[in-house]
Amino acid sequence: MCIRFNFCWLRHGALLIALLWLTGCAGGPSTQERYASLPLSSQKNLSIERVLAMNHAREALGTPYRWGGTTSAGMDCSGLTQASLAAAGITIPRTSQQQFDALPEIDRARPGDLLFFGSGGRVNHVGIYMGDRRMIHAPGSGREVSVANLDNRYWRSHFRGAAAAAP
């Protein structure tokens, strides 16, 4: 009886350990999934236009990058910002440089504002600021619309300015 009990315990214990190990490998939700599920109601004093634009950008998470794209089939960075603001009833130019040139620059970004990046005096990338030092953007070929941490050295060194398109 003792031998059978030890064998059963060993077999069930090994099964339990294997299940726990597999559960650990599965992990929790990705950073994007966790961020996308945060309620916008925690943001205070945001206009409905900002909330609508940010919701559209969050819904675009995972959309494949496509140069010139503005739809869920694929989008580039300025297509993301243009489509997100259009969802809020705001019309902006098509390219990141045109958006930068047309929109009023601001000193301090609020959620829903656009953040511009580039080098050599030109803007070549734009994202939507979501608060908490994060933005949603379409990073480039072979990638998907995702959340970026603005504390990253690349973003800090290439930042060109912020603009408010929404009230």
Residues assigned a catalytic role: 77, 125, 137
CB 131 within 8 A of CB 39: no
Cβ(54)–Cβ(84) below 8 Å: yes
Query: CA-to-CA distance for 114 and 135, rounded, in angstroms?
Result: 9
Size (the chain), residues: 167
Q: Which two tokens stand for residue 89?
A: 């009833």
H or E segment at 122?
strand 122-131
